[in-house]
């Protein structure tokens, strides 16, 4: 819109010039401090402060020593920066008898997240593709069930899933947890992929069929390579969701394979004497670091992918 603001009056001015020498001429003046800009950036700035405040408090607190926290103001910057809480949170904070901080949980989380993300996306993308391009009879019914499933609180499903996993002998194993994550990631991911593939030109799919490619051929060679944005969205959603999961991690794993969030909860809730807010905050930031990094790196692609997966219905 801003370029029109320049070009339109310019041409209009050219006409006016001939008729009236004193009229506006040349590019329309723009004010950096126009009321619109002050309002716009002012609002954005205020909102940004609200969004950043918790992060700021977390970081600042994690760099303070306990005495300073007890005395001071949570918003004041640390007088004396210490990385002690970070070290403690990462490597020595205790839960019960285990005093190895979050470090073990970090690798467990990686071991859980990577296969879960891969499997859930693999399944959901194929689902979405089958629903968008190969609708078979009854497919919609299953899809509706799946969407309704997105609304079922996980707590309700814990018990039936315990029984199912027990019956197939996967309870307590990493494979079991990966499957659980794939199941609960399926509704929203399938919806996103289905929408995305539906928004692709139907003719492309037809051309590939005429070219003789089958179900898998079209998916792997035509559709998937074109779907980077939506895969990015799916990866982001799943990495965040699975990394941040607490409930399944705690119910379906053993202590030696607890993911990071469970250990975070353990550390934060294992109050030994006084609550060590600085360690808690450092642990909190450490736990959130992986999804945060994923977001910061792929922010632009995320919006693009969301646009493709959510906007076209």
Least CB distance to another protein at residue 10 (A): 16
The residue among 25 and 221 lying less far from another protein, judged by its C-beta, is 221
CA atoms within 13 A on the CB side of 210: 6
Least CB distance to another protein at residue 22 (A): 26
Least CB distance to another protein at residue 21 (A): 28
Nearest to 130 by CA among 214, 229, 235: 214
Least CB distance to another protein at residue 272 (A): 4
The residue among 20 and 207 lying less far from another protein, judged by its C-beta, is 207
The residue among 85 and 291 lying less far from another protein, judged by its C-beta, is 291
Q: For residue 98, list its beta bridge partners.
A: 95
**Exposed, middle or buried by CB within 10 Å (0-12, 13-18, 19+), for 45?**
exposed
The neighbour count for residue 272, using CB atoms within 10 Å, is 9
Least CB distance to another protein at residue 88 (A): 15
Least CB distance to another protein at residue 118 (A): 14
* Residue 212 Ramachandran class (φ > 0 left, ψ -120 to 50 alpha, else beta): left
* Token reading at 108: 């467990």
The residue among 80 and 203 lying less far from another protein, judged by its C-beta, is 203
- What is the distance between the alpha carbons of residues 121 and 132, in angstroms, rounded to a whole number? 16
The residue among 29 and 313 lying less far from another protein, judged by its C-beta, is 313
The residue among 15 and 207 lying less far from another protein, judged by its C-beta, is 207
- What is the distance between the alpha carbons of residues 69 and 63, in angstroms, rounded to a whole number? 10
Helix, coil or strand: residue 276? coil
């Amino acid at each position: 819109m801003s370029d029109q603001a320049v070009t339109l009056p310019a041409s209009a001015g050219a006409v006016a010039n001939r008729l009236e020498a004193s009229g506006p001429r040349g590019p329309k003046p723009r004010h950096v401090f126009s009321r619109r800009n002050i309002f716009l950036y002012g609002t954005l700035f205020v909102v940004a402060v609200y969004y950043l405040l918790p992060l700021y408090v977390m970081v600042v607190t994690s760099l303070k020593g306990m005495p300073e926290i007890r005395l001071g103001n949570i918003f004041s910057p640390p007088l004396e920066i210490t990385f002690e809480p970070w070290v403690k949170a990462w490597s020595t904070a205790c839960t019960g008898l285990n005093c190895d901080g979050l470090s073990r949980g970090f690798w467990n989380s990686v071991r859980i997240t990577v296969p879960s993300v891969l499997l859930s996306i693999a399944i959901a993308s194929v689902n979405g593709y089958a629903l968008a391009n190969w609708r078979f009879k009854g497919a919609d019914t299953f899809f509706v069930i799946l969407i309704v499933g997105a609304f079922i609180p996980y707590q309700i499903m814990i018990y039936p899933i315990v029984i199912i996993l027990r019956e197939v002998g996967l309870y307590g194993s990493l494979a079991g947890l990966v499957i659980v994550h794939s199941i609960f990631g399926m509704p929203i991911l399938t919806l996103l992929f289905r929408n995305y593939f539906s928004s692709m030109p139907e003719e492309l799919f037809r051309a590939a069929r005429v070219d003789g490619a089958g179900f898998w051929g079209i998916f792997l060679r035509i559709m998937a390579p074109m779907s980077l944005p939506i895969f990015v969205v799916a990866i982001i959603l799943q990495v965040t969701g699975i990394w941040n999961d607490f409930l399944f991690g705690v119910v379906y794993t053993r202590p030696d394979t607890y993911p990071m969030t469970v250990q975070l909860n353990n550390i934060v809730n294992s109050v030994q004497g006084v609550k060590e807010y600085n360690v808690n905050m450092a642990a909190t930031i450490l736990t959130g670091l992986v999804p945060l990094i994923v977001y910061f790196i792929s922010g632009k692609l995320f919006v693009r992918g969301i646009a493709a997966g959510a906007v076209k219905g």
